[in-house]
Amino acid sequence: MHSFHITGIDHVVVRTADPARALSFYRDVLGLAVEREQPELGLVQLRAGRSLIDLVPAGASDPPDARRPNIDHFALGVSPFDEAALRAHLAAAQVAVVEAGLRYGADGEGPSLYVRDPDGNKIELKAAPDAG
């Protein structure tokens, strides 16, 4: 028994080869708001519900690589989850849906769509169990 418990994901840090392009994707396509910036680090923090997604420029020793993305994927809860409208929005932004289906997540099983950010990281756009 621990004297603590995990309350959820606080933040995810994504290395990016092109910070401006990544910021445009997360802010303009996914609609996340910039919460804080630390220009001396090249860090931009974006609000994703209760969590943050941090974008940091990749250094010469740790560049993103399509054959070896930074992470397998991370999931963002989406509400409301209107799959047709979401697909249309993504297509208009020239973002391909790479996978779709029912998946289990923190709130239970529900529909989800997978996309890739400009650095090739896979992002699951996940609905609550009663959505879709």
In a domain, 2, yes or no: no
Q: What is the pLDDT of residues 31-88, one digit of tens each?
A: 999 999 999 989 999 999 989 999 998 875 565 565 665 676 899 998 889 999 999 9
Instruction: Tell me: do 78 and 127 sit in the same domain.
Output: yes
Structure tokens at 16: 């990016």
Residue 127, pLDDT above cutoff 60: yes
Instruction: Tell me: do 37 and 77 sit in the same domain.
Output: no
Residue 4, pLDDT above cutoff 60: no
Q: Answer whether 115's CB lies under 8 Å from 125's CB.
A: yes
In a domain, 27, yes or no: yes
Domain that holds residue 81: 73-132
Instruction: Tell me: do 125 and 85 sit in the same domain.
Output: yes
Instruction: Tell me: do 78 and 129 sit in the same domain.
Output: yes
- Average pLDDT for residues 114-121, to the nearest whole number? 91
- Average pLDDT for residues 11-29, to the nearest whole number? 93
Question: What CA–CA distance (Å, rounded) separates 61 from 27?
Answer: 27
In a domain, 65, yes or no: no
pLDDT of residue 58: 82
In a domain, 67, yes or no: no
pLDDT of residue 96: 97
Quickly count helices (H) and strands (E) in the chain.
Answer: 2, 8
In a domain, 66, yes or no: no
Residue 70 CB partners (closer than 8 Å, separation 6+) = 14, 15, 64, 119, 121
Count of CA atoms in the C-beta half-sphere (13 A) of 4: 3
- Stated pTM of the model: 0.77
Instruction: Tell me: do 132 and 107 sit in the same domain.
Output: yes
pLDDT of residue 129: 79
pLDDT of residue 70: 64
CATH number of the CATH domain containing 125: 3.10.180.10
In a domain, 4, yes or no: no
Confidence bin at 3 (pLDDT 50/70/90): low
Instruction: Tell me: do 108 and 132 sit in the same domain.
Output: yes
- Residue 56's identity, in one-letter code, is V
pLDDT of residue 45: 95
What is the number of structural domains in the chain?
A: 2
